[in-house]
A = this chain, B = another copy of it.
Amino acid sequence: MGKIVIKRQSLTEQIKSILIDRIIAGTLNPGDRLKELQIAEEFGTSQAPVREAIRSLQALGYVEHLPHVGAQIKTFSQKEIEEAHQVREALEGHSLILANVEIETLVEELNKHTKTMHQAMSENNNATFSMADNLFHRTIVESSGNKQMLSIWDSLRMQLQVIATIVEAATPLDKLYALHPPIVASLKRKHRENAGRFLAEHYREIGTYWDTLS
């Protein structure tokens, strides 16, 4: 029966998602402090669920927590961002080898995303481009059929989203776009190792752009 399930979410969960939304939306910026009681007052709750929400944001890598001092939205050093890129490259590269699904299906889906990128590029729509770019890479990891791998990949999203926006604002989208079709093309020919090489090339280039910016 199509009974509507009203999911009673705990306060902690609700607060957590609101805070995450704010971080992603940029209402909360890196460096901002999260004061438990202040937030509690805003939501009309006690300190406890806010505190728990913050701790769980910490586990997700959104905030940094110092004992007896408090939490603040995490700022990412250049080194950390480089590291995150390397981890992603490792995961994506290995996913290409594992790829469980039909290569055809994977290629098709990847093509969908490159098309979106292409479209966004011609409209100079950075937000859409960024999203499609993200989905492209996520699709690769998804194809491994390894949930943990995907969840780890996702956990790095926060750090990289920041820089992605910056890089994509400062770099010609066509150059970024051009890094993707070769990967798909290699896959289409079932040359997984080659696809891996183009993936490495992709990350090498991103690194270069990032370096020139910072």
- Give the B-binding residues of A (Cβ under 8 A): 10, 48, 51-52, 55-56, 58-59, 67, 80, 83-84, 86-87, 89-91, 93-95, 98, 144, 146-149, 152, 156
Q: A-B pairs with the 6 shortest C-beta distances?
A: A59-B59, A90-B94, A83-B148, A83-B146, A90-B90, A87-B149
Nearest Cβ on chain B to A69's Cβ, whole angstroms: 12
Main secondary structure of the interface of A (DSSP, over half): helix
**When the two chains form their complex, are residues A146 and B86 in contact, meaning their CB atoms are under 8 A apart?**
yes
Rounded to whole angstroms, the CA-CA distance of A83 and B149 in the bound complex is 7
Which of A86, A91, A93, A152 has its CB near the most chain B CB atoms (within 10 A)? A86
Rounded to whole angstroms, the CA-CA distance of A148 and B159 in the bound complex is 12
- Point out the residue from B56, B67, B89, B144 that lies within 8 Å of A94, measured CB to CB: B89
**When the two chains form their complex, are residues B84 and A148 in contact, meaning their CB atoms are under 8 A apart?**
yes
Nearest Cβ on chain B to A12's Cβ, whole angstroms: 9
Contacts of A86 in B (CB 8 A): 94, 98, 144, 146, 149
Rounded to whole angstroms, the CA-CA distance of A146 and B156 in the bound complex is 14
Which of A52, A59, A83, A98 has its CB near the most chain B CB atoms (within 10 A)? A83
